[in-house]
Structure 1
Amino acid sequence: MKKLEALIEQLYQHRHQQQLDTVLPLIADEGLGKSTLMLQLGAKYIHTRDGELPEPDALLDRICYDRRGFQEMMAESDKQALIMVPDAARILYSMDVAKSEQKQIEKDLMDVRGLEYFILLGFQSWDRIGGEIKERRSKLALKIPRRGLIRGYGRDAMDERIDSGSWPESTLTDKFPPLDGTELWAQYQQLDLEQKRERLAGGGRDPEQAEKDIQRKVAIRATKPWAPHQGMTQRDAAKLIDYSESWVSETVRDWKDGEYRDLVEATEEVIA
């Protein structure tokens, strides 16, 4: 991945040494190596900045798994810090974010521009990236079309993707190796597993998440996705809660796909 390593060095010299930051989306379907690439780019950035590779635990400490942790890391980190968010769509820019939270996150991302951070954000698709990032904050995006292959797109190519709806020719192509068998990957898998277990068990759920579940329940019951033409419109349902019509739309779509059945199941009692 010599081209990618050279890219990180150029970003550090021409941006982070010039009082600028980097917000870099990594786009890939699940299982194609998004986390692998993120760890490698993070390690290369620290090596470029400090002159030596980080220990695995020091690198993993720079990962954010929830919105509060991301905001705290942005607020408390030293200049030129590395910040990695493997599941950025879920905790930053998904439809799951309330209008007020969305504005606060966008404000936070604007406020930290002078802190020279290197921020890596993982997304499963281009459509899941918020407008502030893909339209303004990011000057570069990396896409993994298949495992081990990376295609890079500069600002002009990203604008063309926005305008035309399809990717133009990439401005950079490179390959990256797996991390299987390394101490770093073993520690990352253990950390990732612990985080997933916490989410499944409800550990780490804060009042904010509980409130979202309440509002999901209201939106699903109001729209009645199990009974077409019987429930409220998604626009009217959004007026009952603190979230946007698009958030209601995604909640309904997810319910149809089998999610949130622990909140609302289409039983006879609910239908009645």
Structure 2
Amino acid sequence: MAQPDFDDGGGLEQPFISHLVELRNRLIRCIVVVLLVFSGLSFKANEIYAFVAGPLVEHMPAGSQMIATGVASPFFAPFKLALVVSVFASMPFILHQAWAFIAPGLYRHEKRFALPLLVASILLFYGGMAFAYFLVFPVIFQFMIMTTPPGVTMMTDITQYLDFVLALFFAFGVSFEVPIATILLVATGIMTRENIADKRPYAVVLAFVVGMVLTPPDVVSQTMLAVPIWMLFELGLVFSRLFVPKSVSAIEDQTEADAP
């Protein structure tokens, strides 16, 4: 039976304590990198917050502005955002450390598709965040301002705004991982491409349900999330052709064909 392709040179399973020590060391490296990035971004915390608040500020009525209802909010909100940005910016290194930890226990054929999927998942997550900031946020905030009742001045608290946009950033980033989920279902043999394709109507309905839950109650913003999820689902089906596992019968047929 094939054994995992260990990279430690000895091909022997490391003791459990050694795995814990390695995991601790890699976690420490991740924390150090995040703190180093944060130490540099903390000096630009206010500028980063102004950039993230741009889609709302640009659509606010003349004379309106964001407010801070907490005494320490003007200090903590930008620094909280800088810390979150540091984690997002360090994500390639963090995922690389995770890959280096689990890779020695993977078979060679698992490594061949795991690494490309890891890189693709990073790019898709960043793509989802960029899609939310540049396309979805302007539509959402314009809708909110247009629906403000007469006589009410919209003055959003900076802490509440930060929590709102971070939730949307995470939601869109995760939603854009649909192709990876589709490919993994096929690659692991849990479902076949045909089974997933047959459930396309359910996937479309689920995409619009997710769009309804994660966005304000207007058709435009809901569609702007649901349609990309649907398209990414179709994209995952297309690329899953490259990760279809060989069936046992196919392997046996190949063995018989190669036999003298």
The TM-score bracket by the shorter chain reads under 0.3
Question: Which structure dedicates a bigger proportion of its chain to helix?
Answer: 2
* Structure of greater Rg: 2
| TM-score for both structures, normalised by structure 2 | 0.23
What TM-score does the superposition give when structure 1 sets the normalisation length?
0.22
Which structure shows the bigger proportion of residues in strand conformation?
Answer: 1
